[in-house]
Structure 1
Amino acid sequence: MDPILLGAIFITPIAAIIIIGLIWYQKWNYTFKDLQHIKGPTPLPIVGNMSELGDPTKIFWQLFNWQIQYGNIVKGCYGMDMLLLISEPEYLEFICTSQSTLPKGIFYRYLHKWLSFGLLTSKGKKWHQRRKMITPAYHFKILEQFVEVFEKNGNILVEKLRGEVGNPSFDVNIYLTLCALDSINETAMGTSVDAQNNSNTDYIRAIKEMNRIVVDRTIQPHKHFDFLYQFTNDYKIEQKCLKILHSYTLSIIESRRQELLNNPSRFDSKYVDEFGMKKRIAFLDLLLQSTIDGKPLSNEDIREEVDTFMFEGHDTVSTCMSFWMYLISKHPEVEAKLLAEQREIFGDDPKRPTTYLDLQKMHYMEMTVKETLRLYPSVPFMMRDTLEDFTFRDLSVKKGTQILMLPFYLHRRADLYPEPEKFIPERFTAENMSKRHPFAYLAFSAGYRNCIGQKFAMIELKSTLSKVLRSFNICSAVPEHNLVIKSEIILAAGNGYKIQLKNRTW
């Protein structure tokens, strides 16, 4: 072989690595040139801190440990992406209420094939239009009608759980996940997959696979590049899952659209059917009747919003309920206070249907839910992209910097929450909340992109958990069983939520 050609073969890759390394070095110095006072882990050229963040079982805890080691504001990088990890309430308020940091971070792009550019992942004008359009769907008059859905699915859940009474230890998450999936299907699309009686549907399996794939793409560098990713087995699995998920949603949309064209009055909130039953308006029905700039939404526009609603309102609720039941099983004194509140509301009839007014009276129940989300926020970290350079106090942040917010760490700061590892619902009395910075609690995010469905979620949580509490004593299964936390898209317990149930004597 020609020596010159042979030399070129060896030199070219080395030269490319050197060039990329120089670009990385320049980017690192440019991004953080005014942030020498901010500490962080030492990055390697090109790969940055990838070696520390590349394990799905460790990435979450690594970020948590960085904050413990380096402080409430930490700098680092993931490959060519520069990161600022911030858990300081005053800074978080600025970030969450600034137009400069409105877009979601780069890793949300792995949700685009599934959710496209719905409310969660969109930005700019489209996000503003969608937010304005969707907000009326969460009016209390709309939410009130969903209590009937939660009541029905809660009754099915209770009957399923009765089969576990006497079992010394079982993972309650399986049941709660299926119940939440039934509820979100009926409220979002006006239909049911009957998940609690048919847990092995293709749709449910597809959701689980997509959650796994999105996380894997985030932490595995070679899957960041679409060209390389298409040769992986996950790409093939993803294509099958997307076909299942999108086909299901689009078929329901087309069916409901046709129904609206054939009988518009059925979508009137005052409509009563031939059996005297009032028509329930699903989230999908509202989208079908919505317009932007005078034009109705296409099936694809509606699909991305419905899929977003399904994604955001399913696992977040079921994991919160699972953590709540685990915590209550470990704190009988809290269960006693909850039960006293339930008896005050329901009197001698614990089996009567729950009303919207009942849910408004469950103040202590709401405190326990908020404290559960403090300890175990469903969304463990959030990311924002920086659209332009900005300065806030001692931070000079460059355009393109990825800002990470870690509620799990923020919520466990001892200066904000004394004895942070303890489960103390009274932290969320009105008096105690008024003493804390409002951005010291990010269970539902905050600012412009706060969770639009938080009232919906709280109603579902209180309705379902109240029904379980009135039916069972929630007991600790294995005293030495401690949760092993892992972060997927949603925070979860890697070793399950082991509890024990006993039939309650009211």
Structure 2
Amino acid sequence: MYLEIFAILLTTLFVWDYLRHRRHNRMYAAAGIRGPRSYPFVGTAPTLFKESPKTVFSLQSRLMAQYGKNVKMQMIGESGFTTADPKMIEAIMSSQQTIQKNNLYGLLVNWLGDGLLISKGKKWFRRRKIITPAFHFKILEDFVEVFDQQSAIMAQQLYDRADGKTVINMFPVACLCALDIITETAMGVKVNAQLQPQFPYVQSVTTASTMLAERFMNPLQRVDGIMKLLYPKLFAKLNDSVKTMHNFTDSVITERRDLLQKSIAENADANAALFNEVGQKRRMALLDVLLQSTIDGAPLSNEDIREEVDTFMFEGHDTTTSSIAFTCYLLARHPEVQARVFQEVCDVLGDDKSAPVNMQLLGELKYLECVIKESLRLYPSVPLIGRHITHDIVLDGKLIPAKSDVILFIYHAQRDPEYFSEPDKFLPERFSMERKGEIHPFAYTPFSAGPRNCIGQKFAMLEMKSTISKLIRHFELLPLGQEVELVMNVILRSSTGINCGLKPRVY
């Protein structure tokens, strides 16, 4: 009797699973989107999860070679496809109908709430409109001073290891510098991460970022209930880190709001809060913009503001860290490119290592910008982007069914030989003014594109140019240490570190 009941249940589950995916399978077949064998309940998961994060890049390359640039995938409870086709990426990124993020981004909700990265619909549109003024060039001009000061601290901290023989993993070095920059520009406070890496907020950001990266790759950690059951200590550690970050952010918001309201009460002028005790203009931060913003005449709550500040913290330090580290790695291994960057830096900034930079000078570092863009092509900080298709829609001439999850493989699209000659070579000249217009705009999308593009890309480029030019003024970068072994993650990383050596410059 029990065997009969079990057989009936099993048969029912098989039928349910078949019917659930039947429409998707038919529509993908009609669209010419194929993929690896799918099994009942688990879909194509066995094909994916037998690979380690280190080999996901090569797995995707093999699947594309077999099935094309659009590859059908079916996971537990999900149907969709991956794409590295710039034409399909253009159709998805350009449409207002395909801007919803997929459910993997739900892993970030505990930390970021429903901020700009995750939110959708009217809330996303309103928040985007509010935050855009924070990146006005006049505010960015003030931020450059922070970039310069913090990168100078980074350079000084590196001299102890700059003997031309010591291998330095640039990722943690750049991470602390980027964290100092983002806390000061987002919240208007100094945490001195480079000088005090044990500061609780700094440790919590590092812990949460690392653990979220692990959750992204480990299916057993993706559901809170399962993670809490199987990894109770890790789950508790993550929650403690998030609580520490939220408490710190809340305290900063409260203090800043009190200051603003006090100044308004005393001076009847909100702008007065942006001046310090001696009458000098206080540097604007993202937090100041949010505190003075309203929706339908009502100010944002502290929770609303925390969502956006935390989002800016998350998006603005690991991504920049990755690109700075990989650019240093490439410069160390291409001395001819490094020599040209150094010459440009000397020509534009002079030979005084301590001389401050400004926005105009950074704008004149044209070749360095080409170098950074080419580094982002080879090693995009965000190697993939997830979207959710909410209703049937035609994309690149293909009818895609509703409730489809799509993964855009930015990493593979940016190495497509159809769009980039010698795609695996480091050739900054691809981005020179003389070759402007040669690159398909959706074959190269390290900052995403379309309505959901990265709102802070100008900020990021200025920060990278400031930081890397500072390193180049102080040090010669040397090809020391292991080569990178890329790991698929929320942010592109290397399991072997992102290594180089340093030697003080002699002018």
8 Å contact 1:85–1:406 — kept in the other structure? yes
Number of aligned residues: 497
The one-letter amino acid of 1:258's match is: D
Structure 2 CA distance, aligned partners of 1:31 and 1:63? Answer: 21
Q: Output aligned runs, 1:70-469, within 5 Å.
A: 70-166=67-163, 167-231=165-229, 232-233=231-232, 234-264=234-264, 268=271, 272-275=275-278, 277-469=280-472
8 Å contact 2:485–2:494 — kept in the other structure? yes
Matched, 1:38 2:39: no
Structure 2 CA distance, aligned partners of 1:178 and 1:25? Answer: 50
Distance 1:247 1:68, change over 3 A: farther
Distance 1:274 1:255, change over 3 A: closer
Structure 2 CA distance, aligned partners of 1:13 and 1:112? Answer: 38
Task: For residue 91 of structure 1, report the CA deviation from its aligned partner.
Answer: 1.8
Structure 1 CA distance, aligned partners of 2:385 and 2:277? Answer: 48
Structure 1 CA distance, aligned partners of 2:323 and 2:94? Answer: 26
8 Å contact 2:216–2:490 — kept in the other structure? no
Structure 1 CA distance, aligned partners of 2:377 and 2:56? Answer: 20
Distance 1:223 1:165, change over 3 A: closer
1:501 is matched with which residue? 502
Structure 1 CA distance, aligned partners of 2:244 and 2:342? Answer: 42
Distance 1:482 1:220, change over 3 A: closer
Structure 1 CA distance, aligned partners of 2:199 and 2:162? Answer: 26
The one-letter amino acid of 1:500's match is: G
8 Å contact 1:120–1:308 — kept in the other structure? yes
Q: Which moved more, 1:441-450 or 1:28-37?
A: 28-37
Structure 2 CA distance, aligned partners of 1:65 and 1:261? Answer: 59
Structure 1 CA distance, aligned partners of 2:5 and 2:294? Answer: 55
Task: For residue 13 of structure 1, report the CA deviation from its aligned partner.
Answer: 5.4
8 Å contact 2:92–2:395 — kept in the other structure? no
The one-letter amino acid of 2:39's match is: L
Structure 1 CA distance, aligned partners of 2:370 and 2:282? Answer: 33
Structure 2 CA distance, aligned partners of 1:65 and 1:391? Answer: 27
SS in 1 for 2:161: coil
Distance 1:15 1:295, change over 3 A: farther
- Give the unaligned 5+ runs of structure 1: none
The one-letter amino acid of 2:399's match is: S
The one-letter amino acid of 2:192's match is: D
SS in 1 for 2:394: strand
Q: Output aligned runs, 1:21-36, within 5 Å.
A: 21-36=14-29
TM-score by length of 1: 0.93
Deviations 1:276-334 (A, max 9, x none): 64310111011011001111000000000000000000010011110000100000100
SS in 2 for 1:34: helix
8 Å contact 2:383–2:488 — kept in the other structure? yes
- Give the unaligned 5+ runs of structure 2: none
Structure 1 CA distance, aligned partners of 2:199 and 2:17? Answer: 46
Identical-pair percentage: 38
Structure 2 CA distance, aligned partners of 1:366 and 1:64? Answer: 29
8 Å contact 1:87–1:405 — kept in the other structure? yes
8 Å contact 1:56–1:216 — kept in the other structure? no
SS in 2 for 1:328: helix
